[in-house]
Structure 1
Amino acid sequence: ARKTAPCILFIDEVDAVGTRRADSPSGGDREHAQTLNALLACIDGFTNDPQAPPVVLIAATNRPEMLDDAFVRPGRFDRQVSVGLPGPEARREMLAVHTKAVVLFPNLDLGHIAELASGMSGAQIANVVNEAARAATRRKAAAIEELDFREAFDVIQIGGKMTDRIPSPGERHRTAVHESGHAILAWVGNIPVRRVTILPRGRALGANILGGQDTPPCMADEVRARVAMLLAGYAAEELVLGKPSLGAAQDLVEADRLLTALISSGFSETYPLVAMRESETRAWNALMVERSKTLDAILVHAKSILTSNRPLLDELTETLLRKETILRDELDRLLSSVRRETPSV
């Protein structure tokens, strides 16, 4: 950089060398500390000589909390900019840029596609366009249509169509029960669902395709509603079929992760307003006991709602078996009789 100055030096994934140094370094920690010290000396060399041609240093990381305090202090990095996920207008503009090289069906609404892409990064949006182009090519179509974008979202979010085996009638029925349970608790918890399907993709025999959200759940009750939705597939299988299957395993893992994050962030009854990290302390063990009890209580709550709405659960199951996919408008109509829960403030 000194030889080519004036210039801009960009370091991507800077946490690989800029992570916080250990208090008692040993072995590899010492080598890391030496590397970081050498990098800090080079950075200081860029800024200490006002007569030298300027070198503008820019670095990027997805883990800023891991960086060493000396590395990010003013004088080395004077400004920190948080780059979040793009909003609706930014996504539409990204789609406009990435679709310049492809042929779109006339009057295709990129604004609607941008809504479907909520929660995606710029790289993921570019990948959506590429996948949509592949989908159109497989159809031997001259232009990309909305159905190609929907296929692209499915490929990215769930996986490609399962071609190595066909689910048995029993598997299809269990999957329909499972996904119907998710859909009902999603409705109760005000979690938007774009469609429900039992068409197998990737490793999943079915899925609830959620409506993207530009912001994650910000209230404790919203997190609990998401946990209830995740546990509802397990609860529906237990209610209708007598016992759940291993197909609910990933739902349980995600429910456990969400609830653990909530309780350890100060939203526990055992230690309210106290944030903790995983450890072997008695306090942490008490939190994990509370987590297990809360998971059990939410599962009972989900099963109670499904029991109260058993005719609807059966109707959704039969509709899925017949149509394989239920879109949002029809889903909302079917679920309109179910009372929704309003999160408390």
Structure 2
Amino acid sequence: MGYAIIAIFGVFLLQGLIMDLQRTDQIPFSEFEKQLDEGNIERVTVGSETLDGIYSEPVDGKTEFVTRRVQGDIVDQLEEAGVEYDGKVETDFWTGMLSWIIPLGIFFALWYFVIRRMMQQGGPGGQLMQIGKSNARVSYEQDTGTSFEDVAGIDEAREELEELVAFLKNPQGYGRLGAKVPKGVLLAGPPGTGKTLVARAMAGEAAVPFFYINGSEFVQMFVGVGAARVRDLFKQANEHAPAIIFIDELDALGAARNSQPGMAGGGNDEKEQTLHQLLVELDGFDPKSGLLVLGATNRAEILDPALLRAGRFDRHVTVPRPDKKGRIDILGVHARKVKLADGVNFEAIARLTAGFSGADLENLVNEAALLATRREADAVEQVDFTAAIERLVAGSEKKNRPMSEEERVRVAYHELGHAYLGLALPGADPVQKVSIVPRSIGALGYTLQRPIGDRFLMTRAELIDKITVLLGGRAAEAVFFEDISTGAADDLQKVTQMARAVVAQYGMTDTLGLIAYEDGQQTQGGLPQALRGRDHGDETARLIDETARKIVDDAYDRAKGMIETARSRIDTAAQRLLEEETLSESDLRSQLAPEPAT
């Protein structure tokens, strides 16, 4: 309605402009009489309302004129002046038609090429015009531009998916012995590990259409729209079979249903109808047609059990964070796009990036290239990768953030408390660097510790050592200053989580025995941890709190005792740190020279 009102006003405005353009040479009737008296008019065409004429001599560079006819006998005036004149047959039909057709044509074109396109692409009002249509983005093999050569670090998952590619290439031959390929494959793993990448690589290897859609795109405000989109998606895919349907973020659509509406993971009517339709479609198609459904999620534990049963998403492929060898391979894939200097050691980089996902490593290579470009280097060197790791872990430096001298001194001792214990305790990760330069993540200083390899198990002694190192900053403040500060807030949160895990998850205390009182998961069965309640009584909860606190208190006393024995060495290192603001591992070892831990 708003557009229609604007269009009507626009039509009348354009009509006025057209009429004005037609009267650009109009002169007053008095000017016509003046030129007539001076004998400067050669010929006149008389109309019912206007007079069109030609000058004998140009006036202001114009040879023609138009004027509005005034009441009177104009013919007598023309005959008296001896001017040749004639009449004309007038019709306003074409002028009126053009004055309407041109504006209407302009506004119709605006509607068709701008507003209609915008609505089709999901703009304002577009949802009403697209009810029941799938938003799946279809890209064929030549558009994916991805193959298994671009996938690294997930060899086990790749091996499981290669046989599915063989099926897509030859559905009849692959089932010659009666075997049936899974209808659905669930790719589960942490964010950034390459789930979408490997799905696109499957489509590229099999040279089949690739239907990509996000789980949240099915869920709309109108009940039944999501179900219609599911039907439309599978209809499109069946028409192009063999093909791959890839549903990213499947948990947005397939989270577990609960009996209590409104609870996390439960659904309203729209979400449940959409999930029901997906279950029906998964049951309804024949895998021999060459259709394969892939789903990806970061939270497989909250998916509805009906979605995961055999015959639907009946194969589960874990896509974990890469190990050391995988990280080396991934770095090699992403480094193809950058110019590397001689001597870049991917193995050394992989040792320092334990826990990084494939997306993190891609970002690392890009950050290293940016740092090398910023310092106007000819190629990316090892030092750029080291600086990029530090930037990703601790954030960018904020050298313009002002800190008082008192704060700088306190931060220096705080970080050296962490560093000294990290060097002295065998269960701690190696210390790479200590800095009192503020970082963008909000830290006034930091102690960079990175594991030198992949670890899958930790002993109780190692966990206690890590807790002790985390308490080193607060312990150093207590030893060297009269009062403590808020600088250990983040350390205390991590310490609390680790101590409770020792007690309630890992069963590492004699007080509570070999019972897991907490599972460590944020969600279970679709419910967040805060809503699930606990499986133990008040007395057990009190014992968990007391035991965790005793672990923390003992580690804090241990940290203070070790720092007291190294007081003079930490004082010396603090003076140097205040001067240079950053100390490397070799500098720290030479300054602190820790005694063996007790």
Output the TM-score relative to the length of structure 2.
0.53
Q: Which residue of 2 aligns with 1:292?
A: 549
2:477: which partner in 1? 237
Gaps of 5+ in 2: 1-236, 519-528
How many Å separate the matches in 2 of 1:110 and 1:318?
35
Q: What is aligned with 2:514?
A: 273
Equivalent of 1:223, from 457, 463, 480?
463
Distance in 1 separating the partners of 2:475 and 2:359: 36
Whole-Å Cα distance in 1 between the matches of residues 416 and 399 of structure 2?
A: 24
What is the distance in 2 between the residues matched to 1:148 and 1:252? Answer: 32
Deviation at 1:172, TM superposition (A): 1.7
Q: Report how far residue 188 of structure 1 moved.
A: 3.0
1:263 lines up with 2:499 in the alignment: no
1:38 alignment partner in structure 2: 277
Measured in 2, the distance between the counterparts of 1:220 and 1:69 equals 35
Q: Is the 8 A contact 1:187 1:340 kept in 2?
A: no
Q: Give the match's secondary structure for 1:339.
A: coil
Tell me the residue number matched to 2:104: none
* Aligned counterpart for 1:102 among listed residues 338, 363, 387: 338
Q: Distance in 1 between matches of 2:503 and 2:592?
A: 31
Aligned: 1:201 with 2:439: yes
Higher strand share: 2
Q: Distance in 2 between matches of 1:146 and 1:317?
A: 29
Equivalent-residue separation in structure 1 for 2:484 and 2:493 (angstroms): 15
- For these two proteins, the number of residue pairs brought into alignment is 337
Corresponding residue to 2:559 among 302, 308, 312:
302
Contact 1:217–1:223, Cα closer than 8 Å, also in 2: no
Shift in Å, 1:199: 2.2
Mapped partners of 2:280, 2:546: distance in 1: 48
Provide, for residues 245-284 of structure 1, a one-character-per-residue CA deviation record: whole Å limited to 9, x for no partner.
1111111111112222222203344322111237464122
Counterpart of 2:361 in structure 1 is: 125
Q: How does 1:144-163 map to 2 (within 5 A)?
A: 144-163=380-399
Contact 2:343 2:382 in 1 (8 A): no
Over 3 Å counting, the alpha-carbon distance change for 1:163 and 1:321 in structure 2 is closer
1:53 correspondence with 2:310: no
* Inter-partner Cα distance in structure 2 for 1:315 and 1:78: 62
| 2:583 partner SS | strand
User: 1:47-106 CA deviation, whole Å, 9 max, x = no partner?
Assistant: xx36x5122222222222222222222222332222222122221221122122222222
**Whole-Å separation in 1 of the counterparts to 2:262 and 2:480:** 57
Letter of the 2:570 partner, please give it.
L
Of residues 22, 25, 31, the one that matches 2:260 is: 25
* 1:189 paired to 2:430: no
Distance in 2 (alpha carbons) for counterparts of 1:164 and 1:197: 15
Secondary structure, counterpart of 2:402 in structure 1: coil
Q: Give the distance between the partners of 2:354 and 2:262, measured in 1 at CA.
A: 44
Cα deviation code 1:94-134 (max 9, x no counterpart):
11221222222222222222222222111001111111121
The unaligned stretches of length 5 or more in structure 1 are none
CA contact (8 A) 2:251 2:297 kept: yes
Q: What secondary structure sits across from 1:262 in the alignment?
A: helix
1:109-161, CA deviations, whole angstroms, 9 ceiling, x for partnerless residues?
Answer: 22222222222111001111111121112212222122222221122111111
AA at the equivalent of 2:275: L
Q: Select the structure of larger CA radius of gyration.
A: 2
- Quote the residue 2:191 is aligned against: none
For 2:509 and 2:303, locate their aligned partners in 1 and report how far apart those are by CA, in whole Å. Answer: 29
C-alpha offsets along residues 22-65 of structure 1, whole Å, 9 cap, x if unaligned?
A: 2x23247342444332222221123xx36x51222222222222
User: Structure 1: how far apart are the matches of 2:456 and 2:422?
Assistant: 15
Question: Are 1:197 and 1:326, in contact at CA under 8 Å, matched by a contact in 2?
Answer: yes
Q: In the alignment, does 2:490 pair up with 1:250?
A: yes
Q: Which protein has greater RCO, CA pairs closer than 8 Å, 6+ apart?
A: 1
1:214 paired with 2:214, answer no
- 1:130–1:238: structure 2 CA closer, same or farther, 3 Å change rule? same
Q: CA deviation at 1:4?
A: 2.4
Residues of 2 paired with 1:197 and 1:89: CA distance?
30
Please point out which of 247, 251, 255 is paired with 1:11: 247
* Native 8 Å contact 1:197 1:325 kept in 2: yes
Contact 2:423 2:594 in 1 (8 A): no
Please give the alpha-carbon distance, in whole angstroms, between the structure 1 residues aligned to 2:573 and 2:256: 52
Identity %: 36
1:288-343 deviations in Å (ceiling 9; x for gaps): 232223222221121111112222222332232233222223333444441136xx
Cα 1:13–1:7 change in 2 (3 A) is same
Quick check: 1:220–1:262 contact (8 Å CA) kept in 2?
yes
What letter corresponds to residue 576 of structure 2 in structure 1?
T
> Secondary structure at the residue paired with 1:80?
strand
SS in 2 for 1:79: strand
Higher mean alpha-carbon deviation, 8-17 vs 325-334, is at: 325-334
What is the root-mean-square deviation in Å for CA atoms of aligned residues? Answer: 2.2
TM-superposed deviation, 1:216: 5.4
Q: Find the aligned partners of 1:267 and 1:206 in 2 and give their Cα distance.
A: 33
For residues 163 and 132 of structure 1, the distance between their equivalents in structure 2, rounded to whole angstroms, comes to 20
Q: 2:316 aligns with which of 65, 80, 94?
A: 80
Which secondary structure does the structure 1 equivalent of 2:292 belong to? strand
